[in-house]
Structure 1
Amino acid sequence: MRRWLPLLTVCLGTFMLLIDVTIVIVALPDMVDDLGASFGALQWVIDAYALALGALVLGAGSIGDRVGHRRVYVVGLALFAVSSLMCGLAPNSGVLIAARAIQGVGAAAMFATTFALLNSAYAGRDRGSAYGMWGAVSGASAAVGPILGGLLTEGASWRWIFLVNLPVSAVAILLCRTALTEARTPVRGRIDVPGMASFTAAAACATYALIRANEDGWSSRVVWSLLVAAALLLAGFVVIEARTRHAMFDLTLLRNRSFVAVLLAGLLLTFAAFTTFTYTSIWLQSVLGMSPLAAGLTGLPLSVTAFGVSAVLGRVLHGRRPDLVIGAGLLFVGLGSLLTAALVHGAAGWPSLLPGLALVGVGVGLATPILGSVSMSLVPVERGGMAAGAVNTTRQLGFAFGIAALGSVFTARAESILAGRGIPDPTHVAHAIAGGQTPGLLRAAPAAGRQVLDSAAHAAGVAGVQATFAVAGAVGVIAGLLVAVLMRPAGPRTATPAERPPVTEGAAR
């Protein structure tokens, strides 16, 4: 039993940090009422965390390679706990958003060192089992988030979705001191501060541009200025990484099609599988009137199938052809979302979500465990933190970009439905529906027109959700095909040690 304590320690941190990506979703309507948050602020409660996590995890992985993965993991846990307390006590949306950003920094430190810690603790068949169980926890966490969020929000307060992290963090820190060890001497070298700063700024500008586009439209000069700034900062990052001796990201890895495919898979898997939860939850609660817990439970098919597939097949699939496994996982995610888009229409309710979400869970369970093991196999062992950071960066940026992009999809589709029904100021009403403010709209409407507005809000809400699943489904299918092509073996050439995936004892027999 003691040999699995490192896995338990790593999984506790992973469970917390990934749950906190989605746990806030079902609490958003309550936050709107309690804090008086706007739609833009509502998005930033989610995106501030996902953006800080996605933008900093690459740099955190590089730091872990230099100062020690265990040390960085413990610091991340402590920072995560302190910022969770700040979130739980936040008096307004501004403080909450700032605390969420700090929480993302702590999560980045944990997430960036996860794969390196597992590789240090396990080998052979045990490593395959560890990655399978970690993948099960990882795949299920994001789907469990809305369920746990619903329980805490409905049973206590939305503030407890953050405060519950404190005892779990304390247990994880205690386990770190006894279960985790550094397996090797950290790499010497300076921390790439210019690279970290330029990449973080580029990611922030791109995400903020997508959010502003949702609010101001794509004709806004501010939006295009932010996109240009993001492009210039990204170009600056490439120049910095090419010239520094201690780069946090080795640009030569981009010559490896398999590594590029893993990065693409991480980005688009999260986009296609999880970002629809935000707008689905808002639709279920503020339009259909479901409780936070009931809305969260609709994600149960995804979490159950994701956990089951990863736990049962993770050990078997470890070391198998990654192009087939990851490609198939993304295709399942895409087909599940497209099935949901086909079923959610008209007077559809929560049962229409269940079959498609179960298929999405199968895809998540297939793809998630192998993403980590493949990324680690493509780099020298001393750069494991960098590889893990790169993959986890794309995963979290996929969520941040997806929230912003699908927000535009939802509001655009809702606005067209409202305009077709003659609702005055359809743009404002569409943004209010997407922001979970439908009950407030109905209360403020004149009694004579309330029924018409209610009917229009129901039609706009279901159409917006359908559009988000259609886009997510298309992204998933296209991503699956692209990854399968990019990772397909080029020929009978013998793989180099850096390219060869780890072989388990079971696969070798």
Structure 2
Amino acid sequence: MRKWLPLVAVCLGSFMLIVDTTVVTVALPEIGTGLHASLSSLQWVMNIYTLVLAALTLSAGSLGDLLGRRRVYLLSLTVFGGASLLCALANSPAMLVAARGVQGIGGAAMFVTSMALLGTTYEGEERGTAMGVWSATIGVAAAVGPIFGGLLTQSMSWRAIFYVNIPISLVTMLLTKICFAADTPQQRPRLDIPGIVTFALASGALTFGLILADDKGWTSNATLGLFALALLGVVLFIVAERRHPNPMLDLSLMRNASFAAIMLSTIAAAWGFSSLVFTSLWLQSVVGLTPIKAGLALLPLAGATFVASTVTGKRLHNVSPRVTITTSLLLIGTGCAINGLLIHGGSSWAAAVPGLLVIGVGVGVGMPATGSAIFASLPPQRAGMGSGAMATFRQFGQALGVAVLGVIFSDVIHDHLVGKVADPQSAEDALTGGRRTTLGVLHDAGAHGLTSVYLATAGLALVAALVTSSFVRKKAPSVPPAAPKEAAEVH
């Protein structure tokens, strides 16, 4: 039993981290009232967390390799718990946004080091089991976040959603100290400062641009300027990594077709998860569920993910990643297609259940398989690099999915309402804002918007499945071994 305590420590931290990405959603009205916050401030309470996660995940993985994963994981828990206390004590919107940004710093380090700790603690069938349970924990956390947030907010206050992180952080830190041996590097680490700065510039600008595109439009000067800055950051990052003796990302990995295909599958799977944002809007604005009930309606996906992750992580650890990852994408695409065909204006929440179950199985099959494939492709001293790359691509996939699918959702709704209501824009705003409506034409428009989102997601998943079946090797992709000197320096 003791051998699974490290898994408990990692899953506790990951559960807390993922819940905090969604738990705030249902508390935003109470936060706005309590802090007299504007709509823009409330949006940044959500967006700053996503922005920091995207900017720092890869860098955090590299720091874990260099400074020791146990040390960085403990530090990330300290930062996350401290930032949660500041969030709970916030007396202004600015203080809350700043504290959420610090939470993102701790969260980025926590997420990638937790993956790396599992990858280096367990091997073979045990690694498959651990990755399966960890993946299932993430899936459940994402689904129950709104329910958890709604219960705490209604029974206590919005501040409770942050206070609860403090005891969880302390328990997780204690378990981490007990379960993991110190892994302080023997050589003095050499940080890739140029890589860290340029990647933060590129990823931060891209994520901010995607956030702004939904508000200002894809062709606005601000959005295009941020995309141009992101492109410049990518160029500078590539130059920095090629020149640095110990780069935080081995660029030769991206020239490996198999590794690149696995990263594409990560983006597609995360994109599929983004469709749940619009499912939640549909459940509340069209079906008329409360936020808590809407969260409960998504539990079939969480349950399917949990079962599939725990079963396949243990049973399929020796199966080729080409098979498992391709199967995962096919299931996600099929589930999205089912919902794209079944849901209509008069549907109840139950219409989404068949597709959600299939999507959940697909996510459950894919997450442990992808994680295991990444760790098998890298030497142990580069586990942080691999987990950082995977987490970064997942974060980008989710941000890109919300941005692009948001455009599809709103445009389809708007086109459906033109000529049928007096003010199409106001009606569209009611649907996309999650406000309940009883007008039949709005129900039809909302259903059309959601089915378009699902069908677009299905198309991407099926294309990604074709790519993975063609390019992912039967065995995990390998990387050239590091030179002896580099290996001694951890990179």
Equivalents in 2 of 1:40, 1:402: separation in Å? 21
Q: Identify the residue that residue 447 of structure 2 maps to in structure 1.
A: 462
- State which drifts further: 327-336 or 180-189: 180-189
Q: Please, which runs of 5 or more residues in structure 2 have no aligned partner?
A: 482-491
Post-superposition Cα deviations, 1:319-349, rounded to whole Å, max 9, x if no partner, equal: 3100110111111112111211222221222
Query: Residues 183-262 of structure 1 correspond to what in structure 2 (within 5 A)?
Result: 185=185, 188-262=188-262
Q: CA deviation at 1:394?
A: 0.9
Post-superposition Cα deviations, 1:262-321, rounded to whole Å, max 9, x if no partner, equal: 22222221111x212223223323444322221100111111111101112211111310
Query: Residues 379-390 of structure 1 correspond to what in structure 2 (within 5 A)?
Result: 379-390=378-389
Q: Identify the residue that residue 310 of structure 1 maps to in structure 2.
A: 309
Query: Pairwise CA RMSD of aligned residues?
Result: 2.6
Q: Structure 1 residue 484 and structure 2 residue 483: aligned? A: no
The verdict on how the C-alpha distance between 1:246 and 1:112 changes in structure 2, with shifts beyond 3 A counting, is same
Equivalents in 2 of 1:275, 1:47: separation in Å? 15
Q: Identify the residue that residue 505 of structure 1 maps to in structure 2.
A: none
Do 2:287 and 2:347's aligned partners in 1 also have CA atoms closer than 8 Å?
no
- State which drifts further: 152-161 or 325-334: 152-161
Amino acid paired to 2:394 = R
Q: Identify the residue that residue 335 of structure 1 maps to in structure 2.
A: 334
Equivalents in 2 of 1:324, 1:110: separation in Å? 30
Equivalents in 2 of 1:186, 1:99: separation in Å? 34
Query: Residues 54-453 of structure 1 correspond to what in structure 2 (within 5 A)?
Result: 54-91=54-91, 93-182=93-182, 185=185, 188-272=188-272, 274-424=273-423, 426-427=424-425, 429-436=427-434, 438=435
Amino acid paired to 1:328 = T
Q: CA deviation at 1:68?
A: 0.6
Equivalents in 2 of 1:465, 1:160: separation in Å? 33
Amino acid paired to 1:69 = R
Q: CA deviation at 1:135?
A: 2.3
Do 2:266 and 2:397's aligned partners in 1 also have CA atoms closer than 8 Å?
yes
The verdict on how the C-alpha distance between 1:433 and 1:35 changes in structure 2, with shifts beyond 3 A counting, is farther
The verdict on how the C-alpha distance between 1:92 and 1:33 changes in structure 2, with shifts beyond 3 A counting, is same
Post-superposition Cα deviations, 1:405-450, rounded to whole Å, max 9, x if no partner, equal: 22222222222223232332x33542453233x36xx8xxxxxxxx
Equivalents in 2 of 1:270, 1:187: separation in Å? 37
**TM-score, normalised by the number of residues in structure 1:** 0.87
Amino acid paired to 2:425 = T
Equivalents in 2 of 1:383, 1:15: separation in Å? 24
Post-superposition Cα deviations, 1:68-110, rounded to whole Å, max 9, x if no partner, equal: 1001001111111122223334445544333322211111111
Post-superposition Cα deviations, 1:178-226, rounded to whole Å, max 9, x if no partner, equal: 1111357366432222212221222222222223322232332222222
Do 2:54 and 2:204's aligned partners in 1 also have CA atoms closer than 8 Å?
no
Do 2:268 and 2:464's aligned partners in 1 also have CA atoms closer than 8 Å?
yes
Q: CA deviation at 1:387?
A: 1.0
- State which drifts further: 147-156 or 274-283: 147-156
Equivalents in 1 of 2:449, 2:96: separation in Å? 27
Equivalents in 2 of 1:38, 1:435: separation in Å? 15
Post-superposition Cα deviations, 1:442-484, rounded to whole Å, max 9, x if no partner, equal: 8xxxxxxxx7xx4454343333322222222222222222222
Do 1:137 and 1:307's aligned partners in 2 also have CA atoms closer than 8 Å?
yes
Equivalents in 1 of 2:187, 2:470: separation in Å? 35
The verdict on how the C-alpha distance between 1:259 and 1:455 changes in structure 2, with shifts beyond 3 A counting, is same
Q: CA deviation at 1:13?
A: 0.9
Equivalents in 1 of 2:431, 2:31: separation in Å? 15
Amino acid paired to 2:464 = A
Do 2:51 and 2:208's aligned partners in 1 also have CA atoms closer than 8 Å?
no
Equivalents in 2 of 1:403, 1:36: separation in Å? 27
Q: Identify the residue that residue 21 of structure 2 maps to in structure 1.
A: 21
Q: CA deviation at 1:62?
A: 0.6
Amino acid paired to 1:5 = L
Do 1:331 and 1:477's aligned partners in 2 also have CA atoms closer than 8 Å?
yes
Amino acid paired to 1:318 = H
Do 2:321 and 2:474's aligned partners in 1 also have CA atoms closer than 8 Å?
no
The verdict on how the C-alpha distance between 1:56 and 1:3 changes in structure 2, with shifts beyond 3 A counting, is same
Equivalents in 2 of 1:429, 1:24: separation in Å? 25
The verdict on how the C-alpha distance between 1:302 and 1:461 changes in structure 2, with shifts beyond 3 A counting, is same
Q: Identify the residue that residue 504 of structure 1 maps to in structure 2.
A: none
Amino acid paired to 1:458 = H
Do 1:344 and 1:353's aligned partners in 2 also have CA atoms closer than 8 Å?
yes
Do 1:118 and 1:127's aligned partners in 2 also have CA atoms closer than 8 Å?
yes
Equivalents in 1 of 2:416, 2:86: separation in Å? 40
DSSP 3-state at the match of 1:80: helix
Equivalent pairs counted in the alignment come to: 481
Do 2:308 and 2:361's aligned partners in 1 also have CA atoms closer than 8 Å?
yes
Do 1:149 and 1:296's aligned partners in 2 also have CA atoms closer than 8 Å?
no
The verdict on how the C-alpha distance between 1:417 and 1:157 changes in structure 2, with shifts beyond 3 A counting, is farther
- State which drifts further: 91-100 or 221-230: 91-100
Amino acid paired to 2:235 = A
Amino acid paired to 2:291 = P
Post-superposition Cα deviations, 1:137-158, rounded to whole Å, max 9, x if no partner, equal: 2333222323323333343334
Amino acid paired to 2:267 = L
Q: CA deviation at 1:38?
A: 6.3
The share of aligned pairs that are identical, in percent, is: 42
DSSP 3-state at the match of 1:401: helix
**TM-score, normalised by the number of residues in structure 2:** 0.90
Equivalents in 2 of 1:321, 1:301: separation in Å? 28
Equivalents in 1 of 2:300, 2:260: separation in Å? 31
Do 1:192 and 1:247's aligned partners in 2 also have CA atoms closer than 8 Å?
yes
Post-superposition Cα deviations, 1:478-508, rounded to whole Å, max 9, x if no partner, equal: 2222222220449xxx986869xxxxxxxxx
DSSP 3-state at the match of 2:418: helix
The verdict on how the C-alpha distance between 1:210 and 1:117 changes in structure 2, with shifts beyond 3 A counting, is closer
Equivalents in 2 of 1:330, 1:286: separation in Å? 29
Q: Identify the residue that residue 475 of structure 1 maps to in structure 2.
A: 460
The verdict on how the C-alpha distance between 1:151 and 1:467 changes in structure 2, with shifts beyond 3 A counting, is farther
Post-superposition Cα deviations, 1:239-282, rounded to whole Å, max 9, x if no partner, equal: 1111111211110111222221222222221111x212223223
The verdict on how the C-alpha distance between 1:358 and 1:91 changes in structure 2, with shifts beyond 3 A counting, is farther
The verdict on how the C-alpha distance between 1:91 and 1:41 changes in structure 2, with shifts beyond 3 A counting, is same
The verdict on how the C-alpha distance between 1:186 and 1:299 changes in structure 2, with shifts beyond 3 A counting, is farther
Amino acid paired to 1:375 = I
